[in-house]
Amino acid sequence: MDGAKYLYSLCAKTADHYFTGQVSSAQAKEISVALTLCPDHPKRAELEASAAAGVALESDRANGKLVYSGKYLVGKSVQPGTWQSQGEKVEDCYWEISDAQGNILENNFINIAPQFTIYIPATASGFTVQGCGFRWISG
């Protein structure tokens, strides 16, 4: 019952909606169900765009094309290629690309910078990210 009340409350909310930009897959499902309950919502297009972005994020995570803090194996949990940092600006971000012996091929600590790209070669074995996220943009 509380779940239904919550979903109907989403239908009633038309100003300052908290679903903006990229959302999680759980939020994307909530948006989809809420729009089923209130198909004439005045912000339907905006909400559908947010839901689509959430679905795309989950797909990219599952396919090794979106990462946040963690350690990843190249070719298994992340794809080689060109990656773009997430967000308009990056703060307190460390990234590292390593070979099969754990030797650092390339790395950097970013105090603050605008969005940037890095390249992970297919010959790399590891990719470490701390404090930021990257999305794969091309092979």
Q: For helices 2-12 and 25-37, give the axis angle rounded to 10 degrees.
A: 80
Tell me what percent of the residues of the chain surpass a pLDDT of 70: 86
Task: Indicate the pLDDT class of residue 21, thresholds 50, 70 and 90.
Answer: low
What are the domain boundaries of the chain? 2-62, 66-138
- Reading across the β-sheet that carries 66-67, which strands appear in turn? 66-67, 134-138, 81-85, 117-120
Whole-structure pTM value: 0.64
